[in-house]
Each structure stands twice: as C-alpha cells, then as structure tokens.
Structure 1
Amino acid sequence: MKTKKIILTYLVLSVNISFAEPILKKEDKPLVTQTQEDTAKANAELEKYYAKLKYPPGFYEGAFLISFMGGGTLAPSGSFISHEKNYDSTLQYKVVRKEVSQDYYPQSSIRNDEAGLYFKPTYTPGVASQFDFEYGWKEKIGLGFTVMQNSMKAKRQDVIPGLSYYKEYVDPVPRERTIYRGNSMSFLATYHPIPKNFFDPYLVARAGVVSFTGEAHSGTTHDRFVYSNQITSGIGSIVGVGAGLNIYLGRYFGIKAEVDYYREFLKADQFSMRTLNSYQAMVGVFVNLSNVQYRLEQY
C-alpha cells in the first residue's frame, strides 16, 4: 500500500510540473517583448524631439538664446552732433556780442561794455539697453533680431522759442535736454567660431530701422517761426557690427559682454538727412530656452 501511494504521488507531481512549464513560458515572453518595445519607443522620442539638446553648454544648431544687456554709449559723432555743436558756437557768438537778450539779469550785473554771459555746453551719452533673440540656424551661425534703445543728453543754453517773435531771449543758465532718444529694431546674424563650449566668443552684424525723438535745429541759427525745437517724425536706418563673449554658468543661462559700433542715418521734419555714429559697451545675461524647455519636459 505504501508503495502504491508513493508511485501515485510521483505521477501527480510529474503531471503538474509538465503543465506548469509552458504556462510560465507563455507569461514570460510578453513581458520581455513589452520592455523592449517601450525602450525603443522612448529612444525614438528622444531622438526625434531632443536630438539637438544633448550637447554640453554652448552654442549649437537649434539653440534659442534670449539676452538682455545694458551699458553706455561712447564717443558719439556724426553730422547730427556736429550740427548741434555748430549751433552752440553760433549762439555763443551772439550771446557774447549781446545780439540776443538777457534782460532778466539785474541791470547792475552786466554793464553795457561787458560781454553777455555764456556757459559752455556739455554732451553726455545716456544709458543704452538691448534685447537679443537669437536662433542657432547652423552649428556656428545664428540668426535673429535686436530691440535697442539709446539716448544722449546735453546741458546747454538755447534761445527760448515762442517767448517773443521780435526779440530772442536765451536761457540764463544751461538746462539739461534730451537731444536724442532712439528705438531701433534690427535683424542680426552671428558667427560662433567655437560652438558647444562654456566660453563662446562671437561676431555679430545688425541692420534695421530706427525711430527717434529729441531736440534739434534745422539751421545754425534760431528760427523765429519755430515754437518748439522738439524733433517730429524722426525715422531712419541703423547698421552695426560688434564682437562679444557668452560665458555659460550652466546648461541654461550665463553672462555676456559685447562691444558694438553703430551708424545711424536719420531724417525728420527739421532736417533731411544726418548721421549719428557711436560705440557701445554692454554687459548682461542670457537664457537658452531650448535647454530650459527640455528641462521642464523631463518632469
């Protein structure tokens, strides 16, 4: 009896094992196939959408940089500036010779045989600000556009327009005036000789349009028919070249510095065509939106 029970138990166990092996194999195969398909799909998605984002910090094809810089305008020149300085020289001559009135001074302060009171003018460049939007068209070439604002102030005497039609009165002391404030939008093209690097030097060229306001004179002497020296309908074109350096502090952002030379061709109701040349030194920060977007999509 014991022998029969042992034999029967052995047969039951053998049947169970033989049925269990194919079931396990059938269950295992789909799991392995599913894992491989998921991995292949994930790799394909990364290759399709993030192929250009696998590079280290630096400029590359597909990068999208937004930057903000601020600084100052240096050594302004051109016919716009020279014309205003010629106006100041002519006015100084007229003040000294008392061809314009300074009746507001006490009679005892200026004798008839003394020259009129004149103060030398000063021209001071204002603060400049600039936004750049740059896309990596090629590995070393970027395209985009720039929005910029710059200004220039002068502390000077001038004939007070509209005070008297028959008699010219000049300011008793110099007053600060904004003689130029320009807003420009221009296309930019950059060349990055060392892409995919923490230190990213580049060359840049820009060309676009500019609108401007300020104060200017149509001639070298005051026009008695003019009630205001305010510039109206100021418009023109702007071209520039420069060099800069992007320093990446990580994959997503960094600091930058740039030096540019700009030449503007200006026209307004007060004059037909004048030029304004200037150098600009700027510093600022930038963000690589391509890598920021990639970072956000990882969460």
Structure 2
Amino acid sequence: MNTNSKWHLSILVLVSVYQLNAQANVKKDEKPTPVQTQNGTNQTPEEIQKNNAELEKYYAKLKYPPGFYEGAFLISFMGGGTLAPSGTFISHEKNYDNVLQYKVVNKEVSQDYYNQGNIRNEQSGLYFKPTYTPGVASQFDFEYGWKEKIGLGFTVMQNSMNAKRQDVIPGISYYKEYVDPFPRERTIYRGNSMSFLATYHPIPRNFFDPYLAARAGVVSFTGEAHSGITHDRFVYSNQITSGIGGIVGVGAGLNIYLGRYFGIKAEVDYYREFLKSDQFSMRTLNSYQAMIGVFVNLSNVQYKLEQY
C-alpha cells in the first residue's frame, strides 16, 4: 500500500468516527415532541401515559359494567304491602275485640243511641266483626359496596296497619260504657324505623343481581292499643304514646340493571318488631313485606358527569 492510499484510508476512518459521534449527540439531546391535550396544555407522550394511568387507578371502581361491585353506591326506593301480620300486638287486640263482642251481644255495654222501639229486650246487641288490613309500606335503602360481594348501609322504612272495628268510646264511658254504633276505620299501628343494612351479592358485575339482605335497628311507632282486654275507664284516649322498640329482618331481592346507572328491583322481607309504650311493656309484631321499586348507582352517575 502506497502513501496516498494510506492517507485516503485515514481520512475515511476520521469521517466515519465524526458521523457516529454526531448521531449519538443528536439522540442524546433529542426531546419528545409535545402533544396538545384536550384542556389546551402541551404534554409529552410519557406525561400523557402517566396521567392516564393515574386516572385509570382513580376511576377503577367506577368503570365496571352494570352490576354490583366494590365501590358502588346504590340509592333505592321501594313501595309495597305488608302481608300476614301476627304477633302478640295483633293477638292482644283481637282478644280485646272478642271480649267486647261478648259484652255487646249480651248488652253489658250501652247502645242507647239506637231506636230501641223495634228491638225487644231478648234480642242481642248490634255487633259487627272487625277487619284488620295491612297498610302500604315504603322503604329507602342506601347501600355502599364495601367488598366486591358485600354491601353495607342503612334502611329507612315506614309501614302501617289499619282496623275497621267498634270500640268503647273513651272519655264518655267513665260511669257507663258506650260502644260505637258502627265500625270505624282506625290506624292501630304506624311505624318508622331506621336499620343497619348488610347485603350479599353472589353474582357481582352482572345485569341480573340477586342478593340477600339482613337488617337490625330501632323503630318508633304510634296508633291505637289497649293495655288490657277490657276497657279502662280511666283512659281518655286509646292513642299509643311513647312507642319505641327494636326491629330485625331478613330478605331476598333482585336488582335488574337497565343500564350502568339505574334499574328496577324487587324484594321480599320478614320483619320482627319488639314494641313497648306507655300502654304496654312489651309486645311483638311479625310481618312479611313484598316490595318493588327503582334504584340509582350514584358512583357511575358521578363518573358520567365528570366526563363532560
């Protein structure tokens, strides 16, 4: 190899080394091109990816499909009727009615307001059999998804019971008992309760969401009741005063989602109430309730609003 060839080879090597160093410096100084986001700020792809990851972490509980899940917040309203009421509260009032019926038929109480001209002394007094009718029940539920299948919350409920019956007229029956000429409509029980709620959802994240529910809480109530099975002449009114007690219940229901945000529901419950008032020390009231209503998933509603 001659001198000129060696010189050309040296120049070629130096040029190659210079190009490699220049490329390395360009890559080192190269910065990602900023991207304009929806809010008008410029962010690099790495920054956008980081923000998206944080949003995914923050909204993880809100992006589940329709159904129950950890973090869900359901508010529901249901209405329905009370079925097959029983317990010592009802049985005591029915015993009172039976004793009153015997006294009316045997004319041990007065019905002087009737026209007695057409009624012979040997005829029985006028008595009408009572009827007991459960009233309308309404219920609000507030439920939070504590775990994927377990919900916690509270329930506000109102239920009532009516009776159409005759009774001794208090106040004017101090010396002589007077009975209603005809049955009158009376609310014998109206209760308002607040209970702790626990639910179990065996099939979370599904349009069809069956569940089991358990409740326990307190109840305040009013209505009409008697302290004994005969009229107390010292009582001016049969109105219940200072009515309070406890309530426990179990039930099963089904949520049907019509979307991610709301749906319809149905529930059947059994309740047992332990009641006390100024008129009596302790009586129980048992009932079944069948209800239907609607619900809203507020966690998904919140997520929907935050997208705008």
2:145 aligned residue: 136
2:198 aligned residue: 189
2:184 aligned residue: 175
TM-score where L is the length of structure 2:
0.87
Q: Report the residue type matching 1:211 in the other structure.
A: S
The answer to whether 1:294 aligns with 2:303 is yes
Give the secondary structure class of the aligned counterpart of 1:45.
helix
2:133 aligned residue: 124
Equivalent position to 1:108, from 108, 113, 117: 117
Per-residue CA shift, 1:146-197, capped at 9, x if unaligned? Answer: 0000000000000000013100000000000000000000001000000000
The answer to whether 1:153 aligns with 2:131 is no
Give the secondary structure class of the aligned counterpart of 2:282.
strand
Q: Distance in 2 between matches of 1:181 and 1:98?
A: 33
Q: Distance in 1 between matches of 2:43 and 2:129?
A: 85
1:19-98 mapped onto 2 (5 Å cutoff): 29-31=32-34, 34-98=43-107
Contact in 2 for aligned 1:110/1:116 (Cα 8 Å)? no
Contact in 2 for aligned 1:184/1:211 (Cα 8 Å)? yes
Equivalent position to 2:240, from 228, 231, 248: 231
RMSD: 1.7
Give the secondary structure class of the aligned counterpart of 2:232.
coil
Q: Distance in 2 between matches of 1:161 and 1:289?
A: 51
Q: Distance in 2 between matches of 1:64 and 1:29?
A: 42
Shift of 1:26: 7.8
Q: Distance in 2 between matches of 1:46 and 1:251?
A: 19
TM-score where L is the length of structure 1:
0.89
Shift of 1:141: 0.3
Per-residue CA shift, 1:119-156, capped at 9, x if unaligned? Answer: 00000000000000000000000000000000000000
Shift of 1:242: 0.4
Give the secondary structure class of the aligned counterpart of 2:193.
strand
Q: Report the residue type matching 1:67 in the other structure.
A: S
1:281 aligned residue: 290
- After superposing on structure 2, the runs of 4+ consecutive aligned residues of structure 1 that deviate more than 4 Å are 25-28
Q: Report the residue type matching 2:283 in the other structure.
A: R
Shift of 1:28: 7.0
Q: Distance in 2 between matches of 1:224 and 1:212?
A: 24
- For structure 1, list consecutive stretches of 5 or more residues without a partner in the other structure: 1-21
